[in-house]
Amino acid sequence: MSLLVVHDDRGVLTLRLDRPEKRNAIDEDTMLALIVAIDAARSDDGVRVIVLEGAGEHFCGGADIVARNAGTDADRKPRAGSIQRRLPAQAHRLIPLLGSVQIPVVCKVQGWAAGIGFQIALAADLTVAAADARFWEPFSERGFTPDSGATWLLPRRVGEARARELLLLGRALSGIEAAEWGAIHRAVPPADLDGAVEELVDKLATGPTVALGLTKWLLSAGASADLEAQLANEAFALELSSRAEDFREGLAAFREKRAPRFEGR
């Protein structure tokens, strides 16, 4: 597998793209490994936060289109229509999965986040980047159209006008600009990146996991629901979260005037 998976005893599942010699470009094996790991986390009660990061100087340079189109003869090269057939089981499965898994997803970005790397950062719940990171949609400069949800995610994160600038003109954003535009949660000096991500992950990993997961679901559902439907969704989520052990701990902490000690149950 091209992906290193680390699951430590704090309930943090770290998924590290481990192809630094290729700027962590995502090939088919890495894509499958990401999907399998995140899908498995949905049924693992021990996982309380997922962290996505890249080895080396970059987060992700995009999809490995060189590998995807490799071949020395016609028999080995992809057939016409292969992209349309493959994407539903690959990138178009990964991006919705990041939004639907009821576990907070944190993305750590240094260096380049291009193409699907940018989309992963957009789809994560909280993305923290180095101030000098570079977010880029390379499609117009490579002569093909956006994929992996770029045309859906960007207008909702940064607005229509800015999405057109990124996708049609190929403008790259620094980490600071990405934060200012609302594409990511926060940008920090490069030397502070590890500490900022660790602080955020610690807060989520010790939070009320059930309530956080349901809140994430509510935010997703609310994007397409009318008010009445969303109020019903909120009532459903409140019913579930109020039956969790962490809810009782939260009440006890309030009564006793102390910080809560959530166990993720």
Question: 3-state SS of 187-248?
Answer: EECHHHHHHHHHHHHHHHHCCCHHHHHHHHHHHHHHCCCCHHHHHHHHHHHHHHHCCCHHHH
Position 28 scores a pLDDT of: 87
Position 76 scores a pLDDT of: 57
Q: Global pTM?
A: 0.90
Position 85 scores a pLDDT of: 59
Position 71 scores a pLDDT of: 52
- What are the structural domains, with CATH classification, of the chain? 3-205 (3.90.226.10), 209-256 (1.10.12)
What whole-number percentage of the chain has pLDDT above 70?
Answer: 87
Position 167 scores a pLDDT of: 97
Q: Which stretches of the chain score pLDDT less than 70?
A: 1-5, 8-9, 65-90
CA distance readout (Å), 144 to 83, 124, 140, 225: 12, 25, 6, 33
Position 173 scores a pLDDT of: 98
What residues are paired with 140 via a beta bridge? none
For the stretch 29-56, pLDDT in tens is 899 999 999 999 999 999 999 999 999 9
| Crossing angle between the packed helical segments 245-256 and 209-222, to the nearest 10 degrees | 110
Position 82 scores a pLDDT of: 61
